[in-house]
Amino acid sequence: MLRGIPRAISPDLMHVLLSMGHGDEIVLADGNFPSVTHARRLVRADGLSVPDVLNAIARFFPLDSYADDHAVVMATVEDIPSPPIWTTFEAVLAESEGKVVTLTPIERFAFYERAGRAFAVVATSESAVYANLILKKGVVQPHETG
């Protein structure tokens, strides 16, 4: 074990995070998402929710400030304007980024296609609906390194 590493970050997930470069994307997938089907690299996070994983990685993972769609969710198909879990995503990302982060909804099959090109998919046990999130990695600025 190491100090300061949240328990929600497994060795496999830490390796993925450290291996990603600027512009690479990671999918935080709920329990209903076809993770195995769409993953180039699959990281299991069984027993954890998407907010558990997001809270754990957010302090290490800078969003791409050069892209408007650096936090992408799957658009709803019902008349649900914004699933409650999206508010949680926005709050966690705003705290880690120090500014408001707007989620970009995209159509379901476009989301699947984009997930298939992602660096990795983290499969959680999240049961909330529309709880899938794609994050685009940004650049760590010199003043952010220790």
Query: Which of 28, 58, 30, 33 lies closest to 134 in space, CA to CA?
Result: 28
Q: Is 22 a catalytic residue?
A: yes
For tokens 């880690």, the residue is 96
64 is catalytic: yes
Tell me which H or E stretch contains 47. none
Spatial separation of the C-alpha atoms in residues 64 and 34, rounded to whole Å: 26
Q: Given 38, 52, 64, 130, which residue is catalytic?
A: 64
Specify whether 143 is catalytic. Answer: no
Structure tokens at 32: 């209903």
Q: One-letter amino acid identity for 116? A: G
Instruction: Answer whether 92's CB lies under 8 Å from 58's CB.
Output: yes
Please identify which of the residues 22, 52, 70, 143 carries the catalytic annotation.
Answer: 22
Catalytic (active-site) positions? 22, 64, 112
